[in-house]
Amino acid sequence: MKLRTHVARQLRAVANHLERKTLSVAVYVPEHAGRVETALFRRTREELLKRGSRALFASEPGQCFICAKTEKDLGAPLQAHHFGIERCFAEAKGLDWDKVKADFPNFAWSTFDPKDPYAFVDDMAAQGLLLCEEHHIGADTGIHTTTFPLWLMQRYLKVGYRYSPTEVIGK
C-alpha cells in the first residue's frame, strides 16, 4: 500500500514555480599565477569565432553556446570560457592529466608537456566555449553563477520560455 501512495504522489503535477537557491561554495583553489591573456588564448579564441568548439560540447562558430547570439547581435564581444580546466587550476599538483586527455581527445596530446599546462588550458579551440556575458558571468544565468544542470537548460528551452525573473529564452 505504501508503494502505491508513493507512486501516486510522484504522478501529481507540480505547477510552474520560481525555484530559489542559495549557492555557497567552499573549495581550495591552488596558488596560481595572475590571470593574463596569452597569445595562445587570443589566437584560439579567434578560432572559436571562426570554427566553433571541439570541447566536450560542439558549438557553432561565432555564437554563444547557450543562446546562439553573435557579437553583432549583442553589440559586445563573446567571451571564451575555460570549459574543462579553469585557468586558476592549471598548475594544480593534483591534476590528473590522463582524465583530462580522455575527456578532450581532440587536443594534440602527443606534443603536450605537463610542465606547460597552459598549452592546453589556454587553447580555447580544444577546451573553450564561446559565451555571451549573460551566460558566462550573469547573475542566475552565467555558468560561473549557477549550477551546471540549470545553466545548461537555457540551451534546450524553447524561445519565449520564461527561465528566470531576468531572462526569457531567445529575447
Domain assignment present for residue 1? The answer is no
Contacts by 97-103 with C-beta closer than 8 Å and gap 24+? Answer: 103/56
Question: Residue 40 domain-assigned?
Answer: yes
Residue 13 inside a domain? The answer is no
**For the chain, what percent of residues have pLDDT higher than 70?**
90
On whether residue 97 sits in a domain, the answer given is: yes
* pLDDT at position 158: 93
Is residue 87 domain-resident? Answer: yes
Q: Is residue 16 part of a domain?
A: no
List the beta bridge partners of residue 79: 131
Q: Are residues 81 and 53 in contact, defined by beta-carbon separation less than 8 angstroms? A: no
- Residue 56 has phi, psi (to 5 degrees) of -50, -40
Q: Could you tell me the pTM of the whole model?
A: 0.81
In a domain, 81, yes or no: yes
Could you tell me the residue range of the domain that residue 30 belongs to? Answer: 21-168
Cα 27 to Cα 89, 113, 128, 139, 140: the distances in Å are 11, 27, 22, 20, 20
Contacts of 66 by beta carbon, 8 Å cutoff, 6+ apart: 131, 132, 135, 151, 154, 155
144-157 mean pLDDT? 91
Each residue's pLDDT tens digit, 72-119: 999 999 999 999 999 999 999 889 999 999 999 889 999 999 999 999
Which of 13-17, 42-46, 52-56 is predicted with the least confidence, judged by mean pLDDT? 52-56
Q: Number of folded domains in the chain?
A: 1
- Tens-digit pLDDT profile for residues 116-138: 999 999 999 889 999 999 999 99
Strands (DSSP E) found in the chain: 79-82, 128-131, 162-164, 167-168
Rg of the chain (C-alpha set): 19
- Identify how many contiguous H helices and E strands the chain contains and give both numbers: 8, 4
In a domain, 119, yes or no: yes
